Amino acid sequence: WARAVRGLLLDISGVLYDSGGEGGGVPIAGSAEAVRRIKASGLKLRFCTNETQATREKFVKKLQGLGFDISVAEVTAPAPAACRLLKERGLRPHLLVHDDVVPEFAEIDKTNPNCVVIGDAAENFSYANLNKAFQVLIGLEKPVLISLGEGRYYKETDGLKLDVGAYMKALEYACDVQAEVVGKPAKPFFESALAEMGVPPEQAIMIGDDIVSDVGGAQQCGMRAVQVRTGKYRPSDENHPQVKPDAYVNNLAEAVDTILSQM
């Protein structure tokens, strides 16, 4: 699985670090050094995240503070992709997102909303806020729901947390609408990351901790995909009925060791 590779796509949360805690997160052992080794090898690299609790700038600054060699230009994230989609289609969103990601939508017209954009809003997922999003959607002749990912849960330092997918499904059910997912596992998200690297899918490997969004999404694009046994990984993932990773590794450092040994 590690042969003939030109580019790597790395998930961030659960692969590089576990979020949460006073410092904003804890690096996973060996991950910062693994990123440095990838860059020194000459392999193309993109960081692919469904992170929607901060702007890319703020998120990257936190990761740099944790010791990672990463820049904003190397990160493929849902919010900028959603903004492009909104502009292309003349959509004006009602935002149900985390307060810290709102600045990503600063240049988007939000008056008289004709769609809803939902992200990982954390504490903003109150009944009142969900109900407001429901009222906007149900009041539209052709409701449009855009979701910045569809993850079920993610891991922080104090345990697993519900992700945006659970709340997206609630609005889908209530409004009889199919959400348009911008982010993993959506095919255009991975295709955008590959295009930014200039690497065809058959020469790229995705490394992630989510069996569905990371591994399944990447494989649907023709990439190989590896699941790490860190982050949200659970032993039951290895018996998933639909998705079978090309390999399992204990962590990012082990994956990088294997890939670099084949170069």
Q: Which of 94, 99, 138, 84 is nearest to 117 (CA)?
A: 94
pLDDT at 22 over 90: no
The Cα–Cα gap between 82 and 257 comes to 35
Torsion of CA 15, 49, 120, 106, to 10 degrees: 150
> What is the structure's pLDDT at 198?
97
* CA separation for the pair 113, 15 (Å, rounded): 36
What CATH class does 7-50+185-261 carry? alpha beta
Q: Which fold has domain 80-181?
A: Rossmann fold (3.40.50)
Average pLDDT, the chain: 96
Beta bridge partners of 225: 206
What confidence category does residue 58 fall into, taking pLDDT thresholds of 50, 70 and 90? Answer: very high
Q: How far apart are CA 251 and CA 196, in angstroms?
A: 25
Residue 168 has a pLDDT of 98
Indicate if the pLDDT at residue 23 is higher than 90: no
> Under a CB-based contact definition with an 8 Å cutoff, are residues 244 and 26 in contact?
no
**CA–CA distances in Å: residue 25 to residues 11, 12, 66, 140:** 15, 11, 8, 40
Domain boundaries, the chain: 7-50+185-261, 80-181
At 24 the pLDDT is 85
pLDDT computed for residue 63 by the predictor = 96
Reported as a single tens digit per residue, the pLDDT across 219-230 is 999 999 999 999
Q: What is the pLDDT of residue 11?
A: 97
Evaluate the omega torsion of the peptide bond into residue 185 and state whether it is cis, within 30 degrees of 0: yes
Better pLDDT: 166 or 158 = 166
Instruction: Tell me, yes or no, if the two domains 7-50+185-261 and 80-181 fold the same way.
Output: yes
Confidence of residue 39 (pLDDT cuts 50, 70, 90): very high
CA 67 to chain centre: 21
Q: How confident is the model at residue 50 (pLDDT cuts 50, 70, 90)?
A: very high
Q: What is the pTM of this model?
A: 0.89
The whole-angstrom separation of Cα 78 and Cα 81 is 5
* In contact, 74 and 7? CB cutoff 8 Å: no
Considering only the C-alpha atoms of the chain, give the largest distance between any 2 of them, rounded to a whole number of Å: 57
The whole-angstrom separation of Cα 40 and Cα 34 is 10
Question: In this prediction, what percent of the chain has a pLDDT beyond 70?
Answer: 100
